[in-house]
Amino acid sequence: MIQCFAAILKCEVMVTPFLYLGLSVGRSHKRRAFWDGVVVRMKKRLSRWKGRFLSLTGRICLINSTLSTIPLFYLSLLKMSVVVANELVKTQRNFLWRWGSNGRKVAWASWKKVCAAREIGGHGIIDLRTFNLALLGKWVWWLGSDKSGLWKEILDSMYGGWRSLREGGKDNNDSLWWKDLREVCSLEGWGRNFEEALIWKVGIGKEILFWEENWVGIGALKMIFLRLYSLDVSKASAMTTFGG
């Protein structure tokens, strides 16, 4: 049957897993083996001999440059496991402090301090874990801000779109990628802060929660008009929308 449809559509039948833009499609990114290519390429790029001929500033620049050339595509789509993140950070840390030596070297600052901005005394190295969460958070922003697009229509029909990340219940049938986005939204200082920073402008009103949203120059109406809010019998529904 598959071969028949492939002949009609004049396309080939592929098997999973397969590579697409260097990303393995059909394999679980929760497995350590999925990230082998990223780990190997970063270790190769930060090979020890290069550190012998670079200053501290040069080593910092090389560490940051690996993020824009090697794992960026992976990090923008998939959430790293703790094991993979620790291994990548270890590679960066060894390159920064050991710079080619096989012996033990002193780490003159904690990795958290090293990843802090230069303005507050750090070295400005990009923190891999935070960087990964920020890239995944961009999908949350695109889901909430983009008004059209086939990719958005598909996600809206499959999972319920942006609002379901916070308001929808967990579904075991959700993809691992969608579960990762939901996890990002539930992290302290991420999802809720993102929603509180949004300000809505009235369009046709079908996506706006009348009482809940942060209105321009006003704030949430349920906090300003408490008595009216208490009298609204429809407020219990999370999908009560302005103009809906």
* Distance separating alpha carbons of residues 81 and 29, to the nearest angstrom: 8
Do the Cβ atoms of 140 and 181 come closer than 8 Å? yes
The string of pLDDT tens digits covering residues 121-143 is 888 888 888 889 888 888 888 88
Helix (H) or strand (E) holding 214: strand 214-215
24 forms beta bridges with: 19
The C-alpha atoms of residue 114 and residue 93 are separated, in whole angstroms, by 9
Q: What is the pLDDT of residues 167-209, one digit of tens each?
A: 656 666 788 888 888 888 777 666 566 666 666 666 666 667 7
pLDDT of residue 205: 61
Distance (Å) of CA 62 to CA 43, 70, 96, 106 = 12, 12, 10, 20
CA distance 89 to 178: 25
pLDDT per residue over 25-43, tens digit each?
A: 778 888 888 888 888 888 8
219 bridge partner residues: 215
Q: Provide the pLDDT confidence category of residue 22 given band limits of 50, 70 and 90.
A: low
49-70 confidence digits (pLDDT tens): 676 778 888 888 888 888 767 7
pLDDT of 137: 84
Asked if residue 80 lies in contact with residue 132, where contact means CB atoms within 8 angstroms, the answer is yes
- pLDDT reported for residue 15: 78
Q: For residue 148, is pLDDT > 70?
A: yes
